[in-house]
C-alpha cells in the first residue's frame, strides 16, 4: 500500500534503537525525510549511516540530543523546523517500588514521559494545522490500560500525557492534524531485556523465568517484533489515517483482556 506520505518530513525521537528506530525505518521506507535522534552520538552516527545507505543521504538527518531538555528539543526543531510528522518517545523510568520514589525521581519520570512530549506538541501543532496536515504519534505503553507492578511512575506519566492530549486531538482534527498513541506490550527490544534483568535480580530468579512470566498471559505466545510496531506507526502517520484521532492502538498480542 502506498501510504501517501512520500516527501513528508518526520521527527522521530529516541530512534537510534528499539521501537523508535523501527518507526524511523518504516517512515523512511514510506518515502519520508526522517530526522533521527538519540543520546549516544557514536551510535546515532552509525544508525544514520545505515539509513542513508537505504534511503539516500538527503533524506536522513540526525541530531544527538536529550529530548527531555529544552535545549535538546530546540536542536531537533532547528534541524527540522516544520515537521509534518512527530513521533515522541523516551525511555521510561526504571522499575521501582513506589515507596522509594522521591521528589526528584517523580520529577524526572514526569519530565520524560509527560511534559517533554507535551512541549514538542506545543512547538509543532500550530504549524501543522496551518499547513493542513499533521500526524503526532506518542509511543506510550500498554501499562496505560492495565497495571504493571514496579512501573507506576511510567504508567502514571504516560496516562497523564494521554489525558492531556485527548481534548487537543479534537481541537485540531478539523485542520488535518491527528494525535494518537501507540501502546506497546512486550517487544523484543533492549528496554525489555533491561527490564527483564532488573526484575530477575529483584525477584531472585533467572531471566528465563522472568521471560516465561512475560509470555504466559500473551495469547500470541511471543513478544512483538520492532518491524511490526514500525508498520503500525507508519500507518497512523499515513494519508489513510486522517479519520483516526485521539486513539490508543494497543499492540500486545492480545494480553490485555477486555471486550471493548
Q: Looking at the predicted structure, is the pLDDT value of residue 214 above 90?
A: no
Give the tens place of pLDDT for each residue, 67-103. 999 999 999 999 999 999 999 999 888 778 888 889 9
Mean pLDDT, the chain, integer: 95
For the chain, what percent of residues have pLDDT higher than 90?
A: 80
Give the tens place of pLDDT for each residue, 129-166. 999 999 999 999 999 999 888 889 999 999 999 999 99
Q: Looking at the predicted structure, is the pLDDT value of residue 177 above 90?
A: yes
pTM of the model: 0.94
Strands (E), 150-222: 177-184
Place of cell 549516544: 40
Q: What is the pLDDT of residue 203?
A: 85
> Is residue 193 very low, low, confident or very high in pLDDT (cuts 50, 70, 90)?
confident
Tell me how far CA of residue 143 lies from CA of 47, 104, 158, 224, in angstroms.
29, 22, 8, 16
| Per-residue DSSP letter, 224 | B
94 vs 248: CA distance, rounded Å: 23
Residue from 86, 38, 43, 42 nearest 64 by CA? 38
Domains in the chain with CATH codes: 9-187+225-251 (3.40.50.720)
Q: What is the pLDDT of residue 92?
A: 81
Cell of 94: 526504571
* DSSP bridge pairs for 34: 10, 60
180 vs 94: CA distance, rounded Å: 25
CB 36 within 8 Å of CB 24: yes
Amino acid at each position: 500500500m502506498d501510504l501517501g506520505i512520500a516527501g513528508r518530513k518526520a521527527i522521530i525521537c529516541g530512534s537510534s534503537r528499539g521501537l523508535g528506530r523501527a518507526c524511523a525505518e518504516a517512515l523512511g521506507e514510506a518515502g519520508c525525510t526522517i530526522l533521527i535522534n538519540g543520546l549516544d552520538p557514536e551510535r546515532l552516527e552509525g544508525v544514520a549511516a545505515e539509513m542513508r545507505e537505504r534511503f539516500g543521504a538527503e533524506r536522513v538527518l540526525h541530531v544527538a540530543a536529550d529530548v527531555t531538555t529544552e535545549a535538546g528539543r530546540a536542536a531537533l526543531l532547528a534541524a527540522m523546523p516544520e515537521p509534518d510528522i512527530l513521533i515522541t518517545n523516551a525511555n521510561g523510568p526504571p522499575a521501582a517500588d513506589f515507596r522509594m520514589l522521591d521528589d526528584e525521581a517523580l520529577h524526572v519520570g514526569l519530565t520524560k514521559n509527560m511534559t517533554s512530549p507535551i512541549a514538542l506538541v506545543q512547538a509543532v501543532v500550530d504549524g501543522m494545522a496551518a499547513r493542513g496536515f499533521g500526524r503526532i504519534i506518542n509511543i506510550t505503553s500498554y501499562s496505560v490500560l492495565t497495571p504493571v507492578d514496579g512501573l507506576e511512575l511510567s504508567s502514571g506519566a504516560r496516562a497523564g500525557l494521554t489525558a492531556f492530549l485527548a481534548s487537543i486531538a479534537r481541537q485540531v482534527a478539523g485542520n488535518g492534524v491527528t494525535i494518537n498513541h501507540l501502546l506497546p506490550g512486550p517487544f523484543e527490544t533492549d528496554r525489555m531485556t533491561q527490564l527483564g534483568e532488573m526484575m530477575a535480580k529483584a525477584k531472585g530468579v533467572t531471566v528465563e523465568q522472568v521471560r516465561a512470566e512475560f509470555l504466559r498471559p500473551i495469547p500470541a505466545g511471543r513478544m512483538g517484533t520492532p518491524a511490526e510496531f514500525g508498520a503500525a506507526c507508519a500507518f497512523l502517520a499515513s494519508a489513510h489515517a486522517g479519520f483516526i484521532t485521539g486513539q490508543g492502538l494497543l499492540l500486545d498480542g492480545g494480553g490485555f483482556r477486555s471486550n471493548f
